[in-house]
Amino acid sequence: MRLSLVIPCYNEARSLPQLMARCAELVSASPDCEIVLVDNGSTDDSPAVFATELAGKERIRCVRVPVNQGYGHGILEGLRSCEGDILGWTHADLQTDPMDALRALALFTDDPYPAHLFVKGARYGRPFADVVFTFGMSVFETFWMRQPLRDINAQPTLFPRAFFERWHDAPKDFALDLFAYAEAKAAGMRVRRFPVLFAPRQHGVSHWNVNWSAKIKFIRRTLDFSIRLRRDIAARKRSAS
């Protein structure tokens, strides 16, 4: 298997039929790919929709997390079940098209050293306020982590399996995006970005980006994690020298 793409789904029952259709197009266009959908402790009709929509689908399967323990936890559970040489994830809400993963995969195919490559989307088409928020977080993380880090939560995110197998104490929340990006930089991997359209959400609402109060909570959690992450990376570098 060339690519395993993880898509965490939490209470996305209304989006699942359209998401499944796009996933079917992806595996049809690239027979050496699989999609691992994670029912991340959903409390809506997602389990029933999964059962219906997955019937007869090849190389599209579901991993069930009984109780939601965070965005990152769901992704990590999916990654552990993957069979591909290249692993990655994207969102389930269709603001980012799963088909973008094939454009990301092409960068590995064309690269002379794919084992040292980390690929991430770069979003366009977002509301101005969200762009400003992302820019501010990027500036802070670049300064704090002492590595250029921009549009940290953009999707899709793809990397070699060997990189994932070296992870320790990965976070179970939205800090997983920062963790993977910063760890790739610290490991000396080459980061390649490509533009992806960030479309309006068609169903439901964001589970965290709902108002500035939620953004402030997100910032506090991210700052706490950033302090630990820089300390951990620095400690590993000292022990390796």
The pTM (predicted TM-score) of the whole model is 0.93
Number of domains in the chain: 1
Distance CA 195, CA 217 (A): 28
Q: Closest by alpha carbon to 117, among 127, 106, 126, 128?
A: 106
Structure confidence at residue 209 as a pLDDT band (50, 70, 90): low
Structure confidence at residue 217 as a pLDDT band (50, 70, 90): confident
> Residue 98 sits in a domain of what CATH number?
3.90.550.10
Mean pLDDT score, 208-213: 64
Query: Is the pLDDT at 210 greater than 70, yes or no?
Result: no
pLDDT tens digits, 2-52: 999 999 999 999 999 999 999 999 999 999 999 999 999 999 999 999 999
Sheet holding 117-124, edge to edge: 60-65, 33-40, 3-9, 86-89, 157-160, 117-124, 190-197
Distance CA 206, CA 228 (A): 27
Residues 84 and 7 sit within 8 Å (Cβ to Cβ): no
Please give the residue range of the domain that contains residue 126: 3-240
pLDDT tens digits, 143-175: 999 999 999 999 999 999 999 999 999 999 999
